[in-house]
Amino acid sequence: MIRKRKIRIKWKNLIIFLFIIVLIIFGITRIIKGINKLITKDNNPKQIIEKKKITDLDKKLEKLDNINKEIDYFIEDNIDRYISYKEKHTEYPTIQIIKNVNMNLDLEPYKDIKEANYLNTEKVLVNKYYYLDKDYIPLNLQDISKKYALNNMKLVNVAKDAFEEMAKDASNEKLKIIAMSTYRSYDYQVNLYNKYVKTDGKEKADTYSGRPGYSEHQTGLAVDVYNGKTNYTNFESTKEFDWMDKHAHEYGFILRFPKDKVDETGYVYESWHYRYVGKDIAKYIKEHNISFEEYYATMIKDS
Ligand SMILES: [Zn+2]
């Protein structure tokens, strides 16, 4: 009996001992695994680069007052351009920096260029940074009624309908709005631009005429007007201009090159040049007194 008890006690001790050993081994493996994880994490080059990237981005955003949190037209791809433009233009608030760079004002006209997006829609932007292919001809060009236009004046159908409606309503108030230059093909613009360059030199011609491919007239959405008497360059002095100033946006047209937006549009003031953008955009632009460039840079995703 006594012997048996002794053996029993030994077995119990052995089991406890083994249990402790297992616990220790388990503990040690956990610790080793943990250390291993830490080491591989710190040494993984990809993760290190990512970590660094985040801090670089944070630093850049800080330089721009973290304005990305306040506006939805902050374009992360433009971040280095924003920063270098801000360094050169300390006079502007950061929000203006973002707008100006989105408008490409940090780039050189006719050099840093892209093909225009939103072809055949009222959102298409054509200027000294966005060009149309020489073969581009807008869809659905139609003649404007001769009641409201010189011969062979064509606009895209939606713009043509809106123009006729506008001219008709103006005529009900004894005002004459006549389209005198509308859709112009690439080749037509080649001749026109060359003629201007011959007369005024390239530098001056660039202030008032689009180079071929860069003229909004090739979209079939732009129209130059006059009142049938006064030269179009004096359109501003006419009653028709005053009427259009009040009402053009109601028909979807905007004054495309306003006096106070020369830096943004890249063109001198043209009281006679209107652009069809549709009623919604025209209303917004009129109410906020902004250029189409600013509208495009802040309201339209350029992709
Ligand atoms: Zn024009």
Phi and psi angles of residue 57, each rounded to the nearest 5 degrees, phi first = -60, -45
Mutual angle of helices 279-288 and 292-299, in 10-degree steps? 110
- How far does residue 173's CA lie from ligand 1's centre (Å)? 25
Mutual angle of helices 94-102 and 292-299, in 10-degree steps? 100
- How far does residue 98's CA lie from ligand 1's centre (Å)? 29
- How far does residue 118's CA lie from ligand 1's centre (Å)? 20
Please state the rounded mean pLDDT for residues 189-200.
Answer: 96
- How far does residue 288's CA lie from ligand 1's centre (Å)? 23
- How far does residue 172's CA lie from ligand 1's centre (Å)? 25
Q: What percent of the chain has pLDDT over 70?
A: 91
Please state the rounded mean pLDDT for residues 26-49.
Answer: 70
- How far does residue 287's CA lie from ligand 1's centre (Å)? 23
- How far does residue 245's CA lie from ligand 1's centre (Å)? 16
- Torsion sign over Cα 89, 260, 104, 207: negative
Checking if the pLDDT of 8 tops 70, the result is: no
Q: Comparing C-alpha atoms, which of 157, 209, 164 is closest to residue 188?
A: 209
Q: Comparing C-alpha atoms, which of 148, 118, 159, 124 is closest to residue 274?
A: 159
Q: Are residues 217 and 181 in contact, defined by beta-carbon separation less than 8 angstroms?
A: yes
- The pLDDT tens digits of the residues spanning 226-265 come to 999 999 999 999 999 999 999 999 999 999 999 999 999 9
Pick the more confident residue, 288 or 56.
288
- How far does residue 13's CA lie from ligand 1's centre (Å)? 102
- How far does residue 209's CA lie from ligand 1's centre (Å)? 8
Rounded CA-CA distance 240/237 in Å is: 9
Rounded CA-CA distance 72/69 in Å is: 8
- How far does residue 299's CA lie from ligand 1's centre (Å)? 24
Pick the more confident residue, 36 or 248.
248
* Lowest mean per-residue pLDDT among 12-16, 44-48, 72-76: 44-48
| Ion ligand 1 contact residues with beta carbon within 5 A | 224, 273
- How far does residue 223's CA lie from ligand 1's centre (Å)? 6
- How far does residue 257's CA lie from ligand 1's centre (Å)? 9
Phi and psi angles of residue 203, each rounded to the nearest 5 degrees, phi first = -60, -45
Q: Are residues 166 and 248 in contact, defined by beta-carbon separation less than 8 angstroms?
A: yes
- How far does residue 163's CA lie from ligand 1's centre (Å)? 15
Q: What is the pLDDT of residue 37?
A: 67
Q: What is the pLDDT of residue 303?
A: 58
- How far does residue 106's CA lie from ligand 1's centre (Å)? 25
- How far does residue 291's CA lie from ligand 1's centre (Å)? 16
Phi and psi angles of residue 141, each rounded to the nearest 5 degrees, phi first = -75, 140
Kind and range of the H or E element at 82?
helix 79-88
- The pLDDT tens digits of the residues spanning 123-156 come to 999 999 999 999 999 999 999 999 999 999 999 9
pTM: 0.81
Is residue 183 packed enough to be buried (19+ CB in 10 Å), middle (13-18) or exposed (0-12)? buried
Beta strands (DSSP E) in the chain are 114-115, 130-131, 141-143, 154-156, 178-181, 222-226, 253-257, 270-276
